[in-house]
Amino acid sequence: MNQLDALKQFTTVVADTGDFRQLAQFQPRDATTNPSLILKAVQKPEYAPLLQDTVARWKGRPMDEIIDRLLVRFGCEILATIPGRVSTEVDARLSFDTSATVTRAERIIELYQAEGIHIDRVLIKIAATWEGIKAAEQLERKGIHTNLTLLFAFCQAVACGQAKVQLISPFVGRIYDWHKKQAGTQWDEAARSGANDPGVQSVTQIYNHYKRFGIATEVMGASFRNVGQITALAGCDLLTIAPELLAQLAASEAPLQRALSADAAQAMDLPAVNYDEAGFRYALNEDAMATEKLAEGIRAFAADAIKLEKLILAA
């Protein structure tokens, strides 16, 4: 049995890509997209007709609507290939606007429903700012399920659990990147790998907290830099993995053991934690890594949304 098949025994495998032509070979249950992945996909020659057709069909509509229709078009193609859910992201420029995020999310769902897609097959991705978490809380009450992304801090995960969001995506690789950069020449790759990887430790803490306190929100580790980070989180609810790393897992027959266990977490002596807005903002502010990476991630996704707009104008 290869490592990918072994991982699927413990964890739901999700493909982290907008390139729906790559999906079939790895047979993931779900798929996630973001502005960067869609931007990367639409610049490939094989997707040019899809971009041009969408733009031509909705020419004259507001740019934000055309972008949402393009995202939904990709989402529908992905859903035709996988049995589960696709995550589609709200414009990152709305990350600090609760009402605008809710409105945009509702439109994305309406566009999917117009294509005959059931609401339960779509997760709306929202940055895990306080405003984003509050938007997700409202959407979940309306039956619209959410995936809170750009999640780097324990306080973000706790607040998402309190809001009863469907799923969170803690970013393993970007946490690892920050700590490696901070350490500079003092970084010891071997000593900080596997269970000692700072990104792996972050997801493990969140997973154990959720399972210990019966929080139903799903934990989906994301943003991996190497296979070791993935195998160290075997047993996590879900892991969203780029095609390149899926291929490495499929090519390896090295043994793979469960690393995370709900039963083990339930037996742990952990403190109960809750946050109001002031407590959340202070805890996030105290976490330099999370503060920097959240801001950086929002800027990057917003920049890619602008690049996507330029491609649409040029199509």
Please give the average per-residue pLDDT across 121-150, as a whole number.
Answer: 98
Domain hosting residue 26, numbered range: 3-314
Using 50, 70 and 90 to split pLDDT, how confident is the model at 35? Answer: confident
Number of domains in the chain: 1
273 CB-near residues (< 8 Å, 6+ apart): 154, 158, 209
Q: How many CB atoms lie within 10 A of CB 247?
A: 15
User: What are the pLDDT digits (tens) for 243-294?
Assistant: 999 999 999 999 999 999 999 999 999 999 999 999 999 999 999 999 999 9
pLDDT at 34 over 90: no
Find the CATH number of the domain harbouring 242: 3.20.20.70
Please give the average per-residue pLDDT across 156-171, as a whole number.
Answer: 98
Kindly name the residue from 8, 44, 59, 125 that is annotated as catalytic: 125
User: What are the pLDDT digits (tens) for 281-297?
Assistant: 999 999 999 999 999 99
pLDDT at 232 over 90: yes
Give the start-end residues of each E strand in the chain: 12-16, 30-32, 86-89, 122-127, 146-151, 167-170, 218-221, 238-241
193 CB-near residues (< 8 Å, 6+ apart): 228
Active site (annotated) includes residue 59: no
Give the residue from 242, 165, 172 showing the smallest Cα distance to 205.
172
pTM (predicted TM-score): 0.97
